[in-house]
Amino acid sequence: MRGAWLIARSVLVEAVRRREVYAVVLVSLVLIGAVMTVDFFNIEGLSKFYREVALKIMSVATAFTVIVLAARQLPREFESRTIYPLLAKPVSRTSFLAGKLLGVMLAAAFCFLLFMGIFLVGSAYLHLKTQWALFGQYVYLQMLQMLVLATLAFWLSMVMNLDAAITLSCVFYVTSSVILSASTYIYDLVPQYAKALLLGAIYLLPQLDLFDLSEKAVHAEVWPPLPASVMGALTLYGIAFASVYFLISLRLFARKPL
């Protein structure tokens, strides 16, 4: 356990020191700032536009950061041969991978916290109300989504090269909402075997869009927080996929000759 924590800490420290996170935050901040400098007819209290643009940029930036960070953890260890002295220590491969995942998640949380800080400062500056309960749920679900993405990137980085793993993870992240909405629309139009395939795709692929509460957060004056049962179901759903991907990654990692 201590070994896993040390590895996690080293991942986090490296992520923070490499300044990539700050660069992503800064670029996102410039983007949001550029949009908000447009004069919107001198109308005060226009909250939805700010919320929508800011939350979308922040979610996407965090997701891409997590994908890149997670996907390069294992290949880089092999490439730089730093994995050998690490595994020579009394650290199991499970602890090693768990530590890596924990580190990536801590880095994701750090990145997201920076974003949320900026978002809240912006909201305060614009005198916008924040629905704290819904906002808290939004942050929690985003972290669940990052967990699924991180484990998926781990898995992909074990079976393909780094660039391919990053690209595929990003493509999956971007298109996941399309898969979810397209399935309902085309289901009635396809033959029986394709219906079965669609159902399989819906259940076998993680529907990342289910962790995106941003649309309700944008229209927060109308929507109450999600019930605990839904949050519980989403937690189980996310952890189930993350566990499967983690176990596959672990199995592949265990088989990898050193």
Partner 1 sequence: MRTKPGIPLLTGIVLLALSPLLAEAIIRRPLAAGIRSDDPTASEQRNRSAFAIILGNFRSDFSDLIFIKTERYLHSGVGFVPHLDTEAMSNTGEVKQKGAPGSQYEHDPATCTDPTHHHDKDGHDDHESTTSGKAGAAPSPSQVMEANLATPEMRETAELKPGEKRVEEEAEGVATIVPTRNKDFRGFVGDLERAVKPWHDPSTPHTHTAGTELLPWYRLATMSNPNNIRAYMIGAWWLKAMHKEKQREEAVKFLDEGIQNNPKAFQLHVMKGVILREQGKTTASLEAFLVAADLGLAQRPVNYEETTGTVASSQTWTHYMEDDLTAALNFSVLTVRNAEGLGPALRLAKQFQARRGDIPPLNALITRLQSGGGAAAALFLKP
What residues make contact with partner 1 under the rule CB under 8 A?
35, 38-43, 45-49, 129, 141, 177-178, 180-187, 195, 198-199, 202-203, 207, 209-213, 215-216, 218-219, 221-223, 226-227, 230, 233-234, 237
Q: Which is nearer to partner 1, 92 or 181 (CB)?
A: 181
Q: Measured from the CB of residue 5, what is the shortest distance to partner 1 in angstroms?
A: 33
Q: Measured from the CB of residue 225, what is the shortest distance to partner 1 in angstroms?
A: 11
Q: Which is nearer to partner 1, 1 or 38 (CB)?
A: 38
- Give the Cα separation of 116 and 129 in Å (integer): 14
Q: Measured from the CB of residue 256, what is the shortest distance to partner 1 in angstroms?
A: 34
Q: Measured from the CB of residue 125, what is the shortest distance to partner 1 in angstroms?
A: 16
Q: Which is nearer to partner 1, 179 or 252 (CB)?
A: 179
Q: Measured from the CB of residue 167, what is the shortest distance to partner 1 in angstroms?
A: 18
Both structure tokens of 145: 């989504």
Q: Measured from the CB of residue 147, what is the shortest distance to partner 1 in angstroms?
A: 17
DSSP secondary structure of the chain = -HHHHHHHHHHHHHHHHT-HHHHHHHHHHHHHHHHHTS--TT-S--HHHHHHHHHHHHHHHHHHHHHHHHHHHHHHHHHTTTHHHHHHSS--HHHHHHHHHHHHHHHHHHHHHHHHHHHHHHHHHTT----HHHHHHHHHHHHHHHHHHHHHHHHHHHHS-HHHHHHHHHHHHHHHHHHHHHHHHHGGGS-HHHHHHHHHHHHHS--GGGG--HHHHHTTTTPPPPPHHHHHHHHHHHHHHHHHHHHHHHHHHHHS--
Q: Which is nearer to partner 1, 39 or 81 (CB)?
A: 39
- Give the Cα separation of 107 and 15 in Å (integer): 6
Q: Which is nearer to partner 1, 19 or 48 (CB)?
A: 48
Q: Measured from the CB of residue 180, what is the shortest distance to partner 1 in angstroms?
A: 7
Q: Which is nearer to partner 1, 9 or 216 (CB)?
A: 216
Q: Which is nearer to partner 1, 45 or 85 (CB)?
A: 45
